[in-house]
Structures are given as C-alpha cells and as structure tokens.
A = this chain, B = another copy of it.
Amino acid sequence: MKELFRKAARGDRTERPPVWMMRQAGRYLPEYRELREDYTFLEAISTPEIAAEISLQPFERFQPDGVVMYSDILTVLEPLDFAYHLESGVGPVVENPVDSPDDTYRERGDVREELWYVGELLERLSAELGSDAAVLGFAGGPFTLSAYACEGTPSRSFMAVRRLRAEYPEAFERLLQAFTDVLLEYVTYQVEAGADAIQLFDTYAGLLSPADYREFLLPLHQEILAAIDVPTIIFARNMSGNLELLADSGADVVALDWTVDVETARTELGDVAIQGNLDPALLYGNPETVRERTLEVVEAAGEAGHILNLGHGVDRNTPVENVAAFFEAAKTDA
C-alpha cells in the first residue's frame, strides 16, 4: 500500500487510487473520543504512545493506504516561542500573538529538541506499519502559521497578518521567513524519523491576492518542498482559480479542495498528481450517496496520479458508517 501511494504521487497509473482522509484520526471516531477523555489535546499530541494509538485507530477500522500522524499544524509555533492552547468551542488560541512589527524578530529554538515527540511518533508509526501503509507527516505552511501568530485566534479574514503585509511588509516577510526556517528543519526531521510523504498545509494562503502570493509566499513553498526527500503534497483552500501557484511550488501532488472541478484541474495542472476532493459535507449523506459521489471523484480524476481524499478534513460529527462507505468505495469499487 505504501508502494501504491508512492506510485500515485509520482503520477503513475494505479489499479485503484490510494486513499486516506484529512483528519482521519479524530472526533468522529468513538474510540478517539473515549481516549481523549483522559488527555488534553496538547497532552495527546505530545505523548508519542498516545499519539501513535490515535493515529492508528482509523487504520484498524478502515485500512487506509496512508496513516497521517496525529499532530497539529501549530506545533511549530513553539520553537519561535509562541505559546498556544486549544479552547473548547473556539479552536487554537495563541497566548502571545505578534503585537508590533518588531515582535517578528524571533529567536529560533532547537526544533528537534522542542518537537522530539513528533520524531518519536513517526518512528513508532513507521515500525508499526512497515509496508502496510504510507506514514504521512505534515507541517503548516508559513502564511497559515503567520496568520495564527498575528491573529491569536481562528478567523474568517485573518486581517491581522494581511494588515501586517500592507503596513509593514518587511516585518511580514521576516515572520514568513522565521517560520520557513523552522519548517526547513522540521520537515527534514520528519523524513529522518520515517515519514514516507509530507503534506504542507498552507490552508489559508488563498487569502493573499495572487500577486502577493507569488511575490511573498511561492519562493518559500519552493524552498521548503525542495528540502524534502520524499513525495510532497501541497494543500491550500480556495485556490480554484490559482492552481498554477500550487503547481509552481514544486510539490509532487497538488491537493484540491472540494470547490475545484477535477476535470478543469487536470487540464490546468497537466502531469502533476492530484489529491482530493470529495466535499466532506457529503459524508453527512448515507452510505449509498457517499459511495456514488466517491466513485464520481475517482472517475473524474482518471487512473493516473490520483490520491483519493476529501477536499478538507472530515467533520467531527460525521457518521462512522459513511466514512466506512468512503473507504470501501475507494478500495473495492474504484
């Protein structure tokens, strides 16, 4: 299955698409909710034994072809000395957000030391899974991390970082670069620890105008992705009209959210492999509609260079039987 994943990421034809799900280890699973009763989110992600158990829960149920580490895109706030916690009903809260242009000068801590638990988690997953599934590492992208670091809380507009770009462009670049420097170490560490592929989640990068994205962000994506010796996937939301900015990153695979028409994407992206893109909301249907819509995505994507996934993370209240139908459609009917 690891090999199936590699082939699709290279753009090769596969008998069926390899399949995994963003946020596949999470709230929709009763065994996850039960285990999380005993640990805060930050405790769970920073205790390798627990994080490994959580990462493997969906594998035990559904045998996806990729097992994504149970972690968070915000872990890399730590080496830049941003403190954060998860607030119920709100999401991640950064306790000391950027409060002035000078606050973007950040000392960088030792990434391997501060994020040791991520390396140990990947080692465990790699040992446990062997060739049964690809172990998937990931990292937040520099814009999305900067957005949280400036805003302090989740936001629809993330205006604080966009304001920084307009008001103090040098400070904006400095912050992006600080995160990029951390990320370069972090992704290398993940590969050494056993990640078979890495997805870069610059989820909110689509809030930049295409011109700003090209000027400020694209070179950083290129730098980070070029440093990774295993297959790479890039994901950002709301890029349907600007897919070339994702393709130009140099990622092996462009992850599409559910607002992208797959056939249009194929035309625009040429030979680059794609991942996605079933609307996660459709998993609130019933097993039969899930199966139908999943097979539509598989059909539209074609037989070469497609990793089947949702267009965004699976939602927390999704019925488990619909998740099962998604995996089953991919593995037996596609």
Contacts and interface: CB of A to CB of B under 8 A. Distances in A.
A116 to B, nearest CB: 32
Interface stretch (A6-14, A98-106, A159-167, A184-192): A159-167
Contacts of A117: none
A209 B279 contact: yes
Contact of A156 (B154, B162, B282): B154
A259 B281 contact: no
A281 B156 contact: no
B167 A212 contact: no
Nearest to A165: B281
A82 to B, nearest CB: 21
Contacts of A88: none
A162 B284 CA distance: 9
Given A241-B241, A264-B241, A162 B210 contact: no
A258 interface: yes
A282 B211 CA distance: 12
A190 to B, nearest CB: 27
A166 B209 contact: no
Interface in A229-262: 238-243, 258-261
A206 B259 CA distance: 7
A315 interface: yes
Interface in A257-307: 258-261, 264, 279, 281-285, 289
Nearest to A206: B259
A209 to B, nearest CB: 5
A241 B282 CA distance: 21
Nearest to A163: B284
B154 A282 contact: no
Interface in A296-334: 311-312, 315
Contacts of A166: 279, 281-285, 289
Given A166-B284, A283-B166, A209 B241 contact: no
A94 interface: no
Interface in A162-180: 162-163, 165-167
27 contacts: A157-B312, A159-B281, A159-B315, A162-B284, A163-B284, A163-B315, A166-B282, A166-B283, A166-B284, A166-B285, A166-B289, A167-B285, A206-B238, A207-B259, A208-B259, A209-B259, A209-B279, A209-B311, A210-B259, A210-B260, A238-B240, A238-B259, A240-B240, A240-B241, A241-B241, A241-B260, A242-B261
Top 4 A-B pairs ranked by shortest CB distance? A240-B241, A162-B281, A241-B241, A166-B284
